[in-house]
Amino acid sequence: MSPGIRLVRIAGYTEPVRDEILLRDVQESDLSIFFEQQLDPEATQMAAFPSRGRDAFMAHWVKIMADETTTLKTVIFHGGVAGNIVSWEQSGERNVGYWLGKEYWGQGIASAALSKFLRQVKTRPLHVHVAKHNAASIRVLQKCGFAISSEATFSGVDGEQGEEFVLTLGASD
């Protein structure tokens, strides 16, 4: 095992996860990094979520940062901003979403960060909507205890219809 890597057991799975994955409150200085991360074409295709222009992106984050019912955390990996995790209320349900910069994919960071987040956010059930073709995010969510609870369609990038799973982490999980 390389220095700085340890084995972590998350909801029945054991995998190497890098040390120094921290969650902290989102700071205004994080937003420019989040903005750049959401511009990546591969990431937007995988998430089936369009990137926003700078003004629209910043306006969205100003709005959610002002909402006291929203939980916002920056994912820090080895001192750098790797992405974010957010929990918000929508249509009477508590939802979770996360975004990591592409350079942080495939290292166990999302699973470890989401696991930490779920220990902080105790509200259950939690729901996540994820594009069916986003196998990596589905795996992260399942490793953290989420289970597929339903399927739906959504209007994707450029208005085309997409298919998604709704995953839920229930009160007894």
Is 167 part of a structural domain of the chain? Answer: no
pLDDT in tens, the chain (173 residues): 444 444 544 444 444 444 689 999 999 999 999 999 999 999 999 999 899 999 999 999 999 999 999 999 999 999 999 999 999 999 999 999 999 999 999 999 999 999 999 999 999 999 999 999 999 999 999 999 999 999 999 876 567 788 999 999 996 54
Domain that holds residue 77: 5-123
C-beta separation of 75 from 85 below 8 A = yes
- Global pTM reads 0.85
Is 146 part of a structural domain of the chain? Answer: no
Is 145 part of a structural domain of the chain? Answer: no
CATH code where residue 72 lies: 3.40.630.30
Number of domains composing the chain: 1
Query: Which residue type is seen at 82?
Result: A
Is 134 part of a structural domain of the chain? Answer: no
Is 162 part of a structural domain of the chain? Answer: no
Is 97 part of a structural domain of the chain? Answer: yes
Distances from the Cα of 46 to the Cα of 12, 18, 146, angstroms: 26, 23, 19
